[in-house]
A and B are shown apart, each in its own frame.
Chain A
């Protein structure tokens, strides 16, 4: 069955420190992969996505993610965290045609940033 695992429920980093949020997936083929960010009481904003090609993808707000097929991972990184990055981050797997396009989300990682 398809699934997404985000091993870290909470992560706390100091402002200016680097960040890596982990995401592992289980899927029959190479999935489409996404990272979304959700601020408190807000909707889901797309940070970046991977469909194919270059395994290192750049997103908005200085985020990047690397797809590693051998590890079934799609970890999100940022070299220097800002206080405004405090939010909940969701990794999601999207289906490929001819199958379903629905997303399966991980349980999320809540990021706290210390001043």
Chain B
């Protein structure tokens, strides 16, 4: 079965650079979630989109922005990168199920900021 695709899988950036992470949801899934997992930490919710509109926002820095496109893929744009942004970034997708949604996670993008 098709799964959530994230690219790139690994990314190395310098401080103050920008990064763009991409997420391709499971076909027919219209909701995308982004999570950040720091080293040894639990995943923390950043932002979500439903039908190309932002549906919820968590602890996402102002330096980060995201959007969902017409084909439902999503991009997380990160600017002025800081050392503390080094983390595993997960994307998850879900399909409306009468409110009983299950999120399916991608393999993650591991970002290292030097």
Contact = CB atoms under 8 A, between A and B. Distances in A.
Interface of A: 32, 34, 36, 41-46, 49, 51-52, 90, 94, 96-97, 100-108
12 contacts: A42-B107, A43-B107, A49-B102, A51-B100, A90-B43, A97-B99, A100-B56, A101-B33, A101-B48, A101-B56, A105-B44, A107-B41
B: interface residue count bin: 20 to 34
Contacts, number: 59
Contacts of B99: 96-97
Interface of B: 31, 33, 35, 41-45, 48, 55-56, 58, 90, 92, 94, 99-108, 110
Contact of B101 (A41, A43, A94, A108): A94
Contact of B105 (A43, A52, A108): A43
A105 B104 contact: no
